[in-house]
Amino acid sequence: MTDAHEFAQANGERFRQQLFDLLRIPSVSTDPARKDDIRRAAEWLADDLRRIGFERVEIKPTAGHPVVYAEWLGAGDGAPTALVYGHYDVQPAEIEAGWTSDPFEPVERGGKIYARGAADDKGQVFAQVKAAESLLAAGGAPVNLKFLIEGEEEIGSPHLGAFVSANRDLLKADVCVISDTSILAIDQPSICYALRGLAYMEVEVFGPKQDLHSGGFGGIVHNPAQALAEMIAQLHHPDGSVAVPGFYDDVLPLSDEERAELAKSAAPEDYWREMTGVPAFWGEAAYALHERIGARPTLEINGLVSGFYGEGSKTVLPARALAKISCRLVANQQPRRIFEQVRGHIARITPPTVRSEVRLIAEAHPARTDLNNPAMRAAMAAYEKGWGKRPLFERGGGTLPVMADIQRELKMPVVLMGFGLRSDGAHGPNEHFHVEMFHKGINTAVYFFEELAK
Amino acid sequence: MTDAHEFAQANGERFRQQLFDLLRIPSVSTDPARKDDIRRAAEWLADDLRRIGFERVEIKPTAGHPVVYAEWLGAGDGAPTALVYGHYDVQPAEIEAGWTSDPFEPVERGGKIYARGAADDKGQVFAQVKAAESLLAAGGAPVNLKFLIEGEEEIGSPHLGAFVSANRDLLKADVCVISDTSILAIDQPSICYALRGLAYMEVEVFGPKQDLHSGGFGGIVHNPAQALAEMIAQLHHPDGSVAVPGFYDDVLPLSDEERAELAKSAAPEDYWREMTGVPAFWGEAAYALHERIGARPTLEINGLVSGFYGEGSKTVLPARALAKISCRLVANQQPRRIFEQVRGHIARITPPTVRSEVRLIAEAHPARTDLNNPAMRAAMAAYEKGWGKRPLFERGGGTLPVMADIQRELKMPVVLMGFGLRSDGAHGPNEHFHVEMFHKGINTAVYFFEELAK
């Protein structure tokens, strides 16, 4: 144990009380009426960062809610610099939604802190702040530290990309660490080193110029709902792979080593059976279930709509049919390239009897940090020290746009150093954060910065 | 000209004024607030039928709006009996919907009577009543006459089937004539001798037990919207024919003679191109466009719904997907048999990764009257005398359940003797009925009853 760990231990009770104060601020970014609370949370964090010794602390405006930026460069030019990303905004929470206690009046029950934002992300980003405090209090951190804490993560970080682009020099660092995810189990740390990207599209098929009577015209018009279905049926091969030409061109193959690592953290089939309730699994047979989710791209139908779908019957021959289609992408697929490929394929398979359009609705790049990257090794060592157990490796099926954006815009590896658990109830009622995870998180973050400096 | 025609000519002005009175009654069957007006229209018709000499006139209750029944059996046992079907209820009409004048205050402009119900069906059924009046005034009709005028056609005749079943003896006749359709053009009479039936179904595909996050689960679950699309794609062959085994088993083939007759009334391709606006036609290449609509069954997707289909993006992997599917049927297809065939096919093509259900929502039998039937020959002769021009023959793509129901329940041929035009605006604003069609209709109906007696 270093002095910083001793400081963290000695001040644990105070750290928790401080976290409670932060959790009391209802910084709900989706609610325009909470604008002042958002600002108050930013100021509260800025004040704490100043108090614990950060040299430069600023509340930086964006077109939406402000970003808290703080830096301590006392480790000097020769030392590496770590950029810590987190967010101080939270999801909405109404006690009527099933909360046992006021979501903005934190309470500790059974070793857990119950409050909105306890795990997502106030508790986790505050563990990073308290790790910094512990290092600074013990004589200074071994690495330069920059904090970037935004207030719009829960509304999709609409202004973060522009902020990052406009502040490349300010945010320059050797590694970015994000504590906003989960580990496998309270006694089994894990590192999620890859997340999928997204290309979200709308495919619309146009048939007759207006809805027609299916009696008066049925038989001579290619029904657009039928045509759309026939086109969707041509988007996958029978083996479950995506039939769009070129779709897999940029996919980094899974190495045998990576597959072996992933197998260690993989949930058993029963888990997936229980979670989905499907009669049989589907997908690329050459890949295990966790590989299909974490390491393979998909093309998913998120929605369909056409004609009449209410109770009863209406004999309409619809004029249009629409599908929402999204591809989850893995490194190194490019959302725009995938969009162009899908658009090209749809154009080729559109029969001459209808017209089609494909529109891009949203995009996010996939992200992946190499397991052999020094920052990744530092994170592994830190978890091993913090938990007394080697972390396992995971790839996530979801998308965290900020990970890819920082990786791409700032050209640095991003390490997801989660201190949460999947069972924390983020976004739901009775969100909570384990007290043990908070304190282990602080220790692990201290170890991480110490490892980085080695 | 017989005395009946002379009577009709002499009383034409009075007949029109009477029709105006009937049109002033807003007998909107879809509107519960119009119940008294519905009743008033039934009584108005019953009074007129009594006045003109019908021996037995009754307003017969049903579980909904009443049926007007009238009979005159003065032609005696040796003469044939004709059953005239029509309806006295109308579609809703609000002047705000684009009417130039009050829909329930009929006006004559440019040789047309503008009012809700003018063509559908008050004007047409009243032409039959006035034909009966003319015959009775001229010394008696050459056939026995029964009138069945219902008040629920515009809400789908929910109680007519039960009424007909319960009154088979009362309604016994040699032929049923229905004046509730259109002819080809004001100077070209036509007879629609076949209409399609309907089997309306719902196909639902069930995947995961609840909506899933497409990131967290995409890749291992067969997306139900995709599975539904893949199943829909297997409902047609590439040549446009329906791929459900047995689907065409009961279809009466078109004879060369019938095809030749139909070709005479067929609209040109440009008409269908203009009406639909599609880039290219679709369907069974072995059949002309008018044959695909009138003489061939179809399987149509009336609607689709699954997951998210609003503005923007939601990365849901939906739990369910639903299609509304209806088959238009031709003689002698049976709606129940078609439903069973589609259900069986869907069950066979449902992959083991999802579950499916097929539910029957509505059904109607197809109807067809043989062109060589004596009643059909009488109608041909009547139109030829009324218009001075031989009628052409048409098959309709739509469904008129009453035609099939009367044919099946009462075992008599049904002749559709329309006096309307497609341009009459039935169900829309500014519905109208040509004065010329009203008077020619009366004369043609008189000729029909005279021909029947020959």
Distance CA B308, CA A240 (A): 22
Q: For testing the chain A interface, which of B213, B299, B300 should be mutated: the one with the most A CBs within 10 Å?
A: B300
The answer, for B307 touching chain A at a CB cutoff of 8 Å, is yes
Q: How far is A248 from chain B (nearest CA, A)?
A: 14
pLDDT number for residue A1: 62
DSSP-derived 3-state class of residue A232: helix
Q: What is the mean pLDDT of residues A267-288?
A: 96
pLDDT value of residue B1: 61
The mean per-residue pLDDT over the stretch B154-171 comes to 93
Q: How many other C-beta atoms can be found within 10 angstroms of the C-beta atom of residue A272?
A: 20
**For residue A270, what pLDDT band results from cuts at 50, 70 and 90?**
very high
- Chain B's closest residue to A396, CA to CA, is B216
Q: Do B307 and A307 touch (CB under 8 A)?
A: no
Q: Is the pLDDT of residue B91 over 80?
A: yes
CB A27 within 8 A of CB A16: no
Of the partner residues A226, A276, A321, the one whose CB lies closest to the CB of residue B208: A276
Domain with CATH 3.30.70.360 in chain B: 197-249+297-363
| Arithmetic mean of pLDDT, A43-48 | 98
> At B2, is the pLDDT very low, low, confident or very high (cuts 50, 70, 90)?
confident
B271 touches chain A (CB under 8 A): no
Is A298 in contact with B219 (Cβ distance < 8 A)?
yes
Of A416, A441, A444, A452, the closest CA to residue A19 belongs to: A441
Residue A282 near chain B (CB below 8 Å): yes
With an 8 Å Cβ cutoff, are A215 and B196 in contact?
yes
Cβ–Cβ contact A428 with B under 8 A = no
The bridge status of strand A175-178 relative to strand A414-416 is: parallel
Closest residue in B to A242 (Cα–Cα): B219
Describe the crossing of helices B3-10 and B122-137 by its angle, rounded to 10 degrees. 120
Element (H, E) at B18: helix B12-23
pLDDT digits (tens, 9 = 90+) for A130-162: 999 999 999 999 999 999 999 999 988 999 999
Q: Do B317 and A326 touch (CB under 8 A)?
A: no
The mean of the pLDDT values for chain B is 96
Residue B215 to residue A283, Cβ atoms within 8 A: no
Q: How far is CA B211 from the centre of its chain?
A: 41
> Over 80: is that where the pLDDT of B439 sits?
yes
Is the CB of residue B69 less than 8 Å from the CB of residue B85? no
Mutate to test the interface with A, among B269, B302, B308, B346 (most CBs of A within 10 A): B302
Q: Which chain A residue lies closest to B311 (C-alpha atoms)? A: A361
CA atoms of B303 and B321, how far apart (whole Å): 11
Angle between helices B435-452 and B122-137 (to 10 degrees): 50
Q: Do A225 and B323 touch (CB under 8 A)?
A: yes
The confidence band for A219, taking pLDDT boundaries of 50, 70 and 90, is: very high
Judged by CB atoms closer than 8 Å, whether chains meet at A225 and B301 is answered as yes
**Location of each CATH 3.40.630.10 domain in chain B:** 3-195+366-452
B385-418 tens-digit pLDDT: 999 999 999 999 999 889 998 999 999 999 999 9
d(Cα A414, Cα A84) in Å, to the nearest integer?
10
Whether residue B217 and residue A293 make contact (CB cut-off 8 A), yes or no, is yes
Alpha-helical regions (H) of B350-421: 374-387, 401-410
Q: Is A235 an 8 Å CB contact of chain B?
A: yes
Distances (CA, A) of B14 to B18, B19, B41, B130, B420: 6, 9, 18, 10, 21
The pLDDT value given to residue B427: 87
Convert the pLDDT of each residue in B282-296 to its tens digit. Answer: 999 999 999 999 999
Contact A318 B309 (CB under 8 A): no
pLDDT of residue B422: 87
Contacts of B229 in chain A (CB under 8 A): 228-230, 232-233, 301, 304
* Test mutation, A231, A304, A308, A311, chain B, max B CBs within 10 A: A304
SS (H, E, C) B145-188: EEEEEECCHHHCCCCHHHHHHHCCCCCCCCEEEECCCEECECCE
CB-based contacts of A230, cutoff 8 Å, min separation 6: A351, B229, B232, B233
Residue A276 forms contact with B (CB below 8 Å): yes
Cβ of A232 under 8 Å from any chain B Cβ?
A: yes
Q: Is the pLDDT of residue A291 over 70?
A: yes
CATH of B3-195+366-452, one of 3.40.630.10, 3.30.450.40, 3.40.50.10800, 3.90.226.10: 3.40.630.10
Percent of chain B with pLDDT over 90: 94
Q: Is B384 helix (H, G, I), strand (E, B) or coil?
A: helix
- Taking CB atoms and an 8 Å cutoff, what residues of chain B touch A228? 229, 304
Angle of helix B12-23 versus helix B435-452 axis, rounded to 10: 110
Q: Considering CB atoms only, which of A218, A223, A398 is closest to B397?
A: A218
Task: Specify the pairing of strand B144-150 against strand B81-87.
Answer: parallel
CB atoms within 10 A of CB B427: 13
Q: Is the pLDDT of residue A182 over 90?
A: yes
Question: Are A293 and B326 in contact (CB < 8 Å)?
Answer: no
Q: According to CATH, where is 3.30.70.360 located in chain A? A: 197-251+297-363
Q: Do B279 and A352 touch (CB under 8 A)?
A: yes
By CA distance, what is A207's nearest residue in B?
B278
Residue in A closest to B307 by C-alpha: A303
List CB contacts (< 8 A) between B351 and chain A.
282
Q: Do B439 and B402 touch, CB atoms closer than 8 A?
A: no
User: What pLDDT does B156 receive?
Assistant: 85
Residue pair B411/B427 in contact (Cβ under 8 Å)? The answer is: no
Chain A CB contacts of B397 below 8 Å: 215-219
The identity of residue A37, as a single letter, is D
CA angle A17, A21, A27 (to 5 degrees): 145
Helix (H, G, I), strand (E, B) or coil at A337: helix
Q: What is the mean pLDDT of chain A?
A: 96
pLDDT of residue A277: 96
Highest mean pLDDT among A369-373, A431-435, B156-160: A431-435
Cβ A302–B282 below 8 Å, yes or no? no
One-letter amino acid at A438 equals F
Q: What is the pLDDT of residue B424?
A: 93
Chain B partners within 8 Å of A293 (Cβ)? 216-220
Residues within 8 A of B (CB atoms), A 358-387 only: 361-362
Model confidence at A432: pLDDT above 90: yes
Paired tokens of B287: 């059949």
**Residue A277 to residue B209, Cβ atoms within 8 A:** yes
pLDDT value at position A422?
87
Q: B211 at the A interface (CB within 8 A)?
A: no
What residue in B sits closest to A398 (Cα-Cα)? B215
Give how far B398 is from chain A: nearest CA, Å: 4
Tell me how far apart the alpha carbons of residues B206 and B321 are, in angstroms, rounded to a whole number: 7
Question: Which pLDDT score, from 0 to 100, does residue A86 have?
Answer: 98
By C-alpha distance, which of A413, A427, A453, A421 is closest to A440?
A421
Distance from CA of B238 to the nearest CA of A (A): 10
| CB within 8 Å: A303 and B316 | yes
Of the candidates A209, A226, A318, the beta carbon closest to that of B236 is on A226
B197-249+297-363: which CATH topology? Alpha-Beta Plaits (3.30.70)
Q: Please, which residues have CB within 8 angstroms of residue A75's CB and are 6 or more apart in sequence?
A: A81, A140, A141, A142, A143, A144, A145, A453
Q: Model pTM greater than 0.80? A: yes
Interface contact flag, A217 B313, Cβ < 8 Å: no
Domain A197-251+297-363: CATH architecture, name and number where available: 2-Layer Sandwich (3.30)
Residue pLDDT, tens place only, A89-114: 999 999 998 999 999 999 999 999 99
Provide the residue type at A233 as one letter. Answer: A
